[in-house]
């Protein structure tokens, strides 16, 4: 009885397999007909504008400059344009290429120096008060 049941199952599986082959052939025919009517234009991807934006670290690496000093100076002096994307400052790859071709002035601007605040007359140095303590 088990051999009859297993042969019936095998026969059913072979029938399903043949039906699946027929369905696959039909789908292939439909797909080729659709391909002829509508050639694939969707395979060309639009350029992702964010893919052309570089982090400041990557821009500095490509320019061969220090990120914390020279790159910041280039941005502050307006020699290198940045844009904001997703809340972060990014550098367009075209700007990096332009700057690399044109060259840039890498001299650093003079650092801002704080002018000392004038002390009120009669005030002493805090260290003087500490030294005057009798221990």
User: What is the per-residue pLDDT across 43-100, written as a single tens digit (0 to 9) for each?
Assistant: 556 666 556 999 999 999 999 999 998 999 999 988 999 999 889 999 999 999 999 8
3-state secondary structure of 53: strand
Residue (of 87, 101, 77) closest to 53 by Cα position = 87
> Does the pTM exceed 0.85?
no
* Token digits of residue 130: 């500490």
Residue-wise DSSP of 58-118: HHHHHHTS-IIIIIHHHHHTTSS--EEETTEEEEEHHHHHHHHHH----PPPPPP-PPPPP
Architecture of domain 49-102: Orthogonal Bundle (1.10)
**Distances from the Cα of 69 to the Cα of 66, 104, 108, 113, 131, angstroms:** 6, 14, 8, 16, 40
Q: Where are the domains of the chain?
A: 1-40, 49-102
CB 69 within 8 A of CB 108: yes
Looking at the DSSP bridge assignments, the partners of residue 54 are: 91
Q: What's the average model confidence in pLDDT over 8-36?
A: 91
CA pair distance 25, 87, nearest whole angstrom? 51
Whole-number average pLDDT of the chain: 83
Q: In what order do the strands lie in the sheet with 88-92?
A: 53-54, 88-92, 83-85
* Token digits of residue 84: 């904001």
């Amino acid at each position: 009885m088990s051999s009859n049941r297993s042969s019936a199952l095998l026969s059913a599986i072979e029938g399903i397999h043949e039906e699946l082959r027929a369905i696959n052939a039909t789908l292939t025919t439909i797909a080729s007909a659709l391909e002829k009517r509508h050639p694939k234009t969707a395979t060309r991807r639009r350029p992702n504008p964010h893919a052309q934006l570089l982090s400041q670290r990557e821009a500095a690496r490509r320019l061969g400059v220090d990120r914390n000093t020279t790159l910041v100076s280039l941005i502050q002096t307006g020699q290198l344009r940045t844009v904001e994307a997703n809340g972060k400052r990014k550098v367009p790859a075209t700007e990096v290429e332009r700057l690399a071709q044109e060259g840039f002035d890498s001299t650093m601007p003079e650092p801002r120096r704080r002018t000392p605040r004038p002390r009120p007359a009669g005030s002493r140095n805090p260290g003087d008060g500490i030294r005057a303590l009798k221990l």
